[in-house]
Amino acid sequence: MREGFRRRILVTGGAGFLGSHLCERLVMQGHDVLCVDNFYTGTKDNIAHLLDTANFELMRHDVTFPLYVEVDEIYNLACPASPVHYQYDPVQTTKTSVHGAINMLGLAKRVKAKILQASTSEVYGDARVHPQPESYWGHVNPIGPRSCYDEGKRCAETLFMDYRRQHGLSIKIARIFNTYGPRMHPCDGRVVSNFMMQALAGAPITVYGDGSQTRSFCYVDDMIDAFIRLMETPDDVTGPLNLGNPDEVSMLDLAQRVIALTGSSSEIVFKPLPVDDPLHRRPCIARAMEVLGWQPVTAVDEGLLLTARYFHAKRFGSAAPSAPTAVAEPANAAFSRT
């Protein structure tokens, strides 16, 4: 490691899906990583493989309460991300987004740390502009069941920009589009985890609405690359920056791909579309490509296969989460590809 390169890095929400991958990458790079999590949706399992590492530390803490630590960089990821989870206790979701942001910004201000916010494509709501560029202000219902998350994240962006303007903080805002991969919670209700678990169980695949709504799915490794590149940018780069994979698929198409990939005999069933479910979502990533020199490199089918291996291992207990390729020989051909 280069002299002076080793940094003390706080990852809030570090025991979650994205947070655990980020902690792992930063630990591998040799940084001192402090993972803070209240285990609301994250698990110790996700970071168990890091616990014995000298440059990794875990702290149980809720970011809605003040936190006094000394760090050089903060990745603020703490917040439930799946609609089922964030709607379970919506008041806590808003508190986490807003009070959590204030506390982490206060911390960043005191210790003069760089701080990156995990924002979301949900700030665009049920977008009327497609694909969504960062300049679009969005179409968000402020009083619906998704509002705790959407408006919480929008308010957090406001706070980040105001701490920048008012206190000169070095901030980075990442607008994350749907991201998937190993360590997603199997019961989080998100579409990739639902379809995978249903396909592996041979249970009906639940497509909401007529399945024509679209999303654009980014594999987790690509997203972590983007986070780290964004954190490395000069101070005048604040974002917001869209991060995601512009490869757009309908939910019906996704269901069919998952069935094919897993060799499942599941049938597709149609269920009501949730309230305020965005119809189309695809990031315009021109700005991220230019500023970060980044674009996703994992094709959706490749990422889905790696994810299917993870869920297979989870369901049948045949491999550690961090080693998706170590799954015992499965019954269908797709899993035996390497």
- Please give the residue ranges that form the binding site for ligand NAD (CB under 6 A): 12-13, 15-19, 37-42, 62-64, 77-81, 96, 100, 118, 120, 176, 178-179
Least distance from C-beta 300 to ligand NAD, angstroms? Answer: 14
Active site residue 149: yes
Which residue number, 13 or 125, has a Cβ lying nearer to ligand NAD? 13
CA distances from 150 to 92, 104, 134, 160, 200 (A): 13, 19, 15, 15, 32
Identified catalytic residue from 40, 124, 149, 219:
149
Contacts of 277 (CB under 8 A, 6+ apart): 126, 208, 209, 213
206 binds ligand UDP (CB under 6 A): yes
CA distances from 97 to 35, 51, 79, 86, 171 (A): 18, 27, 7, 11, 16
251 binds ligand UDP (CB under 6 A): yes
Among 10-18, 135-143, 189-197, 238-246, which window interacts with ligand UDP (CB under 6 A)?
A: 189-197
Beta bridge mates, 116: 75, 172
- Residue 126 structure tokens: 């049920």
Which residue number, 248 or 277, has a Cβ lying nearer to ligand UDP? 277
Which residue number, 119 or 238, has a Cβ lying nearer to ligand NAD? 119
Least distance from C-beta 338 to ligand NAD, angstroms? Answer: 26
Least distance from C-beta 185 to ligand UDP, angstroms? Answer: 12
Which residue number, 258 or 305, has a Cβ lying nearer to ligand UDP? 258
Least distance from C-beta 18 to ligand NAD, angstroms? Answer: 4
What order of strands is seen across the sheet that includes strand 32-37?
Answer: 56-60, 32-37, 8-12, 73-76, 114-120, 171-176, 241-243
Q: What is the DSSP letter of 133?
A: P
DSSP per position, 8-53: EEEEETTTSHHHHHHHHHHHHTT-EEEEEE--SS--GGGGGGGTT-
Least distance from C-beta 51 to ligand UDP, angstroms? Answer: 25
CA distances from 275 to 141, 144, 157, 269 (A): 10, 8, 24, 19
Beta bridge mates, 73: 9, 114
112 binds ligand UDP (CB under 6 A): no
Residue 102 interacts with, from ligand NAD, ligand UDP, none (CB under 5-8 Å by kind): ligand UDP
Q: Which of 215, 282, 312, 314 binds ligand UDP (CB under 6 A)?
A: 215
Binding site for ligand UDP (CB under 6 A): 66-68, 82-83, 102-103, 106-107, 109-110, 178, 190-191, 194, 206-208, 213, 215, 251, 273-274, 277
Give catalytic residue positions: 149
